Structure 1
């Protein structure tokens, strides 16, 4: 229930590199960038206390130089190898000239990650689609939130992150920032009888009252709020808030406890029940999904999700792009 990402397949994109680096230990969905992410049993408050960087850490980062690459190519980071720091440390290289960044905004960013041990590139989005983070997300490394907190769109920052084997250096360019709603907005829809009953608190956070009896064997897609935005299509980048429960009402995951979840729909980055059930639903809608095992995790256990589980989700579709 920690806002982890329920992914169907190993993450094939370089976004895995950013997720593994930028999330505090214990807060990400998986332990390895290539592993399938599973719901975390560790809360953000259980994460290790943030260690303040030393004067030596700050000086080491100041000594790193950045050379612009050709259009669409990675910038080059030059530094004395091996590069190490004792704590996460960040600095602004170039201040942005766009709109001021605000907590809660979804930031689009390009980045390159290099190994402090030998300078090899570990991941990059230059020349490809940008990655996204939510500014102020408590699961992000505080050094990143702090350095971006008083910056603007167009800012370029350098971040050093110590690791078990070596330090990673990450150059980040903030390409865009968007403020998005936190909950569905539209016309309420009265669902048919026999489905789990959904209630919302004052902030829009859902809870469910399970129903007795056997779970459905087919995918159930029931709008609860009909938004007036465009319908979702495969290949679109979509931002959601969601909560998930087992058929008996046991909660296992919720983005409401952290930041909204962004994924690319219809590309097998999430379970099939999401790809199939959310296609065609409109932005601003809230959708109840009941996902049979065949369209979820099948006969494989995923953390607190037992094998052969029917999953119940309430999904708020917040934004596209």
Structure 2
């Protein structure tokens, strides 16, 4: 389940692919004559000699937003393969850090440029360890701010064929963020869903018997953080769990292994409205009517449409 209602950021899920929402064509040039070999499916997760040779064939020209990649059309890899192009000299990336990166992405089959976060002014941030970004976790852990890393991986296309994405990623910054809300406890209003935290801060929910669907968004601060107020145009890093009114959890960053980062302009309206004005460090209970979530009408394609949703959100960072 994705909280976003639209693409919002240039890339949505690196666990699937670094797929850019706005595609531009580029001049993917030619590299060495033996640039690539066709790669069969690789279930081991370990790059083959052919994978390594394919990535070695990629020529990087320029730096930062002026960088371009050149390689022969038809480049393929059988599994995620990475290579450090330029070493960084800043802080080292560690698991649990909030990393911000810029990147360009090319299509392996055509050697064409698909897009650039530099061009779109849309730097991407994620928490290292987030399962949604599993393709990048190993490639970036231990690198330093400023490093440029080539990452190529197989990607399933819309027509169910498989192509390869070739990406040049530059680490812009890394930041240590807490993994749970920290602040002053707030006594909630009576009659609301009851939130209980375990020793790690992971929430569970108890929906009162007979609790009626609210007609308006319910926003209840449970922990008041001491950080700055969140604005609607910011990107937030959160721990969260979502439930339907029958108490069934449908999504949780706690289960995904790391906090998740979202632009507030690209999530459901209940999140945008409910988190704007809250302070960093806070924990917030949201009861979101269907109209402010995935639509008031039920849908065969989205099982959450037509349903009131309950969220507990820890706001860990905003930028």
Same fold (TM over 0.5): yes
What is the distance in 2 between the residues matched to 1:98 and 1:236? Answer: 25
Specify every segment of 5 or more residues in structure 2 that has no aligned partner in the other structure, as ranges: 22-41, 156-160
What is the distance in 2 between the residues matched to 1:49 and 1:255? Answer: 27
- How far the C-alpha of 1:207 sits from its partner, in A, is 0.3
1:21 alignment partner, SS class: coil
- How far the C-alpha of 1:192 sits from its partner, in A, is 1.5
What is the distance in 1 between the residues matched to 2:277 and 2:142? Answer: 38
Deviations for 1:229-260, whole angstroms, at most 9, x for unmatched residues?
11111111111111011112111111111221
Specify every segment of 5 or more residues in structure 1 that has no aligned partner in the other structure, as ranges: 23-31, 35-47
- Alignment of 1:135 onto 2:128: yes
Correspondence for 1:182? 179
Correspondence for 2:309? 311
Deviations for 1:236-285, whole angstroms, at most 9, x for unmatched residues?
111111101111211111111122121222x2x11111111111111111
- The structure-2 alpha-carbon separation of the partners of 1:218 and 1:254, relative to structure 1 and needing over 3 Å to count, comes to same
- Alignment of 1:65 onto 2:62: no
Q: Is the 8 A contact 2:9 2:124 kept in 1?
A: no
- Alignment of 1:219 onto 2:213: no
| Number of matched pairs | 290
Correspondence for 2:95? 103
- How far the C-alpha of 1:161 sits from its partner, in A, is 0.9
- Correspondences of 1:277-316 after superposition (within 5 Å): 277-298=274-295, 299-301=297-299, 305-316=303-314
- How far the C-alpha of 1:50 sits from its partner, in A, is 4.9
TM-score norm. by structure 2 comes to 0.85
Q: Is the 8 A contact 1:286 1:317 kept in 2?
A: yes
1:216 alignment partner, SS class: coil
TM-score norm. by structure 1 comes to 0.84
2:169 alignment partner, SS class: strand
